[in-house]
Amino acid sequence: RMLATRSVARHAPRVTSRVRARSSPRASSAMSSSAREKDLQTLWADAYDAWLDVPGEPQPSVVYARPVVPELTRVHAGDLPAQSSRDAEAFPAIVTSSRSFALTGFNPMGEKTAMATNRLANAALRDDLAALDTPPPRAVWNSFGFAHDWREDGFVVAFHEADAAEARAAIVRLAVKYDQGAVYEYAPVPGDATRLRRSTVPAAMGAGVEADASLERCAKPELALANREVEDDTY
């Protein structure tokens, strides 16, 4: 999500008392971790992106993007887009000519955290990104990932395509430092500036959170959490 996480206890599988009695603490922990990663994988794969004041775009502005998914897979009418728009707008040139990554300091390891703590973590992360020079970013801008009931603020970092592997390693190291489950990676689609490939790349969590999505640019969704600024108690 830029990725932190949200609490997923409501999706934990139910088990009988007999199973609990026979299960070792290690087995129970593994089951819980697997269920959590699966829930987060779904959340991150379906989430919207919002990028603030992207270089080359009018200032101030917000670029919104959504996964392109079939109508039958939608869950909430306002949460996921319907089918792809034929007249989708091109993504900013800095994005279609770079390998970009999104990450956050919010809600480490899926634990809902006080907003004051989240904002301090993002401030420290911003300083770390400003000091990043191996490889040097082309640009950094503020962003947030969101859905109908979830939002986390963070940053997008764009690198030269030739630096993609080194950049991925550097961004994942930073995500692990801030106990983030995963990061987003955005890759341009050759010959199509209206599409990006978004991958969920594991950081402090395992491969269970991996997911790929095709993104298109979209208008601002009719969701409260899509606003550029929201009250802390709305998160």
Phi/psi for 38 (5° steps) reads -65, -40
Rounded Cα distance, 79 and 67, in Å: 10
Q: Which of 6-20, 74-88, 94-108, 150-164 has the lowest mean pLDDT?
A: 6-20
Closest CA to 122 of 99, 140, 146: 140
Average of per-residue pLDDT across 207-217? 96
For residue 81, CA distances in Å to 38, 68, 167, 172, 196 come to: 21, 7, 30, 29, 15
Average of per-residue pLDDT across 69-83? 49
pLDDT tens-digit series, residues 134-172: 999 999 999 999 999 999 999 999 999 999 999 999 999
Closest CA to 212 of 65, 83, 45: 45
The pLDDT value recorded for residue 86 is 60
DSSP letter at 181 equals S
The pLDDT value recorded for residue 104 is 98
DSSP letter at 191 equals T
The residue among 32 and 183 whose pLDDT is bigger is 183
Per the omega criterion (within 30 degrees of 0), is the bond before 60 cis?
A: yes
Closest CA to 103 of 63, 51, 61, 157: 157
Q: Which of 15-29, 43-57, 212-226 has the lowest mean pLDDT?
A: 15-29
The pLDDT value recorded for residue 36 is 87
Rounded Cα distance, 112 and 129, in Å: 24
**pLDDT band (50, 70, 90) for residue 34:** confident
**pLDDT band (50, 70, 90) for residue 85:** low
Average of per-residue pLDDT across 51-65? 98
* Average pLDDT of the chain, as a whole number: 85
| pLDDT for residue 175 is more than 70 | yes
Q: Do 217 and 91 contact (CB within 8 A), yes or no?
A: yes
**Beta strand 139-146 with 48-52: parallel, antiparallel or unpaired?**
antiparallel
